[in-house]
Amino acid sequence: MIAALAFLPAMDAIAKLLSRHLPIVEIVWARYLFYALAVVPLAHWRHGRAVVRPARPALQLLRAALMAMSALMFFSAIARMPLADAMAVFFIYPILILLASNLLLRETIGYARWAIVALGFTGATLAAKPSFIGISPGIPYALTSSCAYAGALLVTRRLTPYDPSLVTAAISAIFGVLAYSLAVPFVWILPAPRDWPLMAVMGGIAAIGHFLIVVAHRMTTASRLAPYGYIEIVAAVFFGFVIFRDWPTSPVWIGVVLIVASGIAASLREERSIQKRHAPEPASTK
């Protein structure tokens, strides 16, 4: 999960650059096209017909639709507002995951995990340095993206016992490229030669990042992964400086420290939980 979230913001930064002269639907289509070219052949080689005959097709289609909606809405948000502001709104998704995990998946959530997420949310708010002046037109898009993404991660958790990670990633890629191929002819603008390599990189990042997210949800629960989501905002600060030359201010650095602290706390808590589960039973004195 950490590896995925460390470089996924690079994809968002590239999308924001492309949105200056290309339609959002076309950018999302290109992202899914290169995503599919990267992951579908590998999934077919490893798992054969499971790509078109998954164990839970309805859940796979639901996840794919939610991921496609999240990508479209987030790219629409960053085209209308600063990347940091969009990230600040988007990062309500770990809270949504915890609520849904408790209400829908019946996962037990302790006070400590809520506190860790709250700490990370505070850090994310500072790191994103939101500059809301009135109501930005991008906020509804970012909120919709966050809700769709949280739903997709919860569905991913339900899928992991049934379908391999590569199959899940491939189905999402195929769904996205087919869905947006129907819409892209209506908004098509011929990309410049320099745009195609950026699109390819964007799709490659999506393929690797989302595959790792699926693997992470195969290994543990959605609520346990939720606190680590804030690592993405740290990466966003980095890519914001590298690409847009946005040097972090003092509140941003304070936010980054809080995010890192929440991640360390989550890691230590999970380690203690694992040790308790594997601790030997005390010998009987009878």
Q: What is the pLDDT of residues 49-60, one digit of tens each?
A: 888 889 899 999
In angstroms, the Cα distances linking 12 to 60, 69, 201, 273 are: 24, 15, 11, 34
Can you give the pLDDT at residue 175?
Answer: 95
- Residues 73-88: tens digit of each pLDDT: 999 998 888 777 788 7
Please enumerate in sequence order all residues whose Cβ is within 8 A of that of 7, keeping only pairs 6 or more positions apart, or say none: 205, 208, 209, 235
What value does the mean pLDDT take over residues 252-256?
Answer: 76
- The amino acid at 237: V
Closest by CA to 64, choosing from 218, 202, 206, is: 206
pTM summary value: 0.79
What value does the mean pLDDT take over residues 207-215?
Answer: 83
Backbone angles phi, psi at 37, to 5 degrees: -60, -30
In angstroms, the Cα distances linking 144 to 45, 72, 210 are: 35, 10, 19
- Computed over every residue of the chain, the mean pLDDT equals 83
Sign of the alpha-carbon torsion through 123, 253, 3, 73: positive
Report the chain's terminal Cα–Cα distance, integer Å: 46
